[in-house]
Every structure is written in structure tokens, then in C-alpha cells.
Amino acid sequence: MSIPKIKICGLTSLSDALTAARSGADYLGFIINFPKSPRHMSPEAVRKIIGAIKPNFPKIKFVGVLVNQDLSVAENLVSEIGLNVIQLHGSETPDYCATLRKKVEVWKALVIKSPEDLKNLADYQATADKILFDAGKGIGQEIDLTLLKNIAVDILAGGLGTYNVARAIQIVHPQIVDFNSALESAPGKKDVDKIRAAVAAVGIINQ
């Protein structure tokens, strides 16, 4: 079983982003233009963090998380901020994904709470680069892994922390694990020790 790559999402400060980068994260995620979230960041703030991180960590990729943004806004953010990936976490259609994919790598998040939530999976698999399976928008709830046991899981999110990530990896074998609220000391503020412990927990899966 291969070790999945790691995304630390919901970053709101340069210090937290540096901790994630130094700990070995492969992707850093920022929630952009979504004031309803305590992890909301402005495009300018994200651009500054990426500008500070990128020269010293050239292998890290930067993910902008968007919710129901106009397509033109999403396209402009790619070059404006320097994003490698756009993660769509709203009701964006497969056609939206296909169009944006011409500009940048696209991840489409699907909130999975029952088998019914998988009905459009094939349409999104055909139009997005990767599918992120989640239990909700930053609510810290764990996803029901039994719903994903017969699915090739690109990205697994939903309440992942040091206490459950090894079990989740062993059950659904995701390509990428996505940590967010379980690594916080307060909404929008990451805990240094939790970040380091989570990355370490993924790294010892095969040991």
C-alpha cells in the first residue's frame, strides 16, 4: 500500500503554512472569497503567503478552495494568486468543471452522507481531475467510509486527524488525505503539534 500525499487545508496565516510545509505537506489549501467560513482568506492574503512559501518549497502545490464562484473569477484567481489547483466545494456543474479544467487542475468536492450522494460521481469523474470525498464543509465530521469501499478514492477529507487517518487509509486507500479542522486549536488557527503529528501518522502507515 502506497503512502498517500498530504494536503493541509484551511490555512489562514504564513506561520501555519510554513509549519505545514516544513512538516512535509504536499499541498497547502486556502479557502478564498467565502466569508461564511472562519478560514476565509482574501486573494491578496493568499498571494502573499504563496509568494513567501514557493521559493523555498518548490515542490509544494497550492490549492484554492472556491464555493460557487463565477467561472471568470475562478479563472482569474489562477494566474492572479499562483494556484496549482482549484478545488470546487459548491454546486458547480460538470460543465463548469470541464471548462475550468482547460485553465488549471480541478478537484471537485462531493459531500457524501448516503449512497444517493454518489449518483453524479461518474459525471464529475469525467470532467474533473480528482474527486474529493467529504462529510461536509469544514465541520469536522468523519465520513462514513463504508460508502467508499468499492470506489477508487482520489482525495479523502472529513474530520481526519491523528486518531483516525491510519484506519481511513487502510480502508479506502486514498491518493491524497486532506486535513483541516481536526488540526486546529481554534477555528482558522492550526496547532503546530497536531500538524506535525498528522504528517508523521501518514508517513508511518507502511511501517
> Which residues are catalytically annotated?
9, 134
Q: 135-148 b/e with 16+ CB inside 10 Å = b?
A: bbbbeeebbebebb
Report d(CA 82, CA 46) in Å as an integer.
9
The answer to whether 3 and 206 are in contact (CB under 8 A) is yes
The pairing of strands 85-88 and 184-186 is unpaired
| Structural Rg of the chain based on CA atoms | 16
User: How crowded is the C-beta side of 109, counted as CA atoms within 13 Å?
Assistant: 25
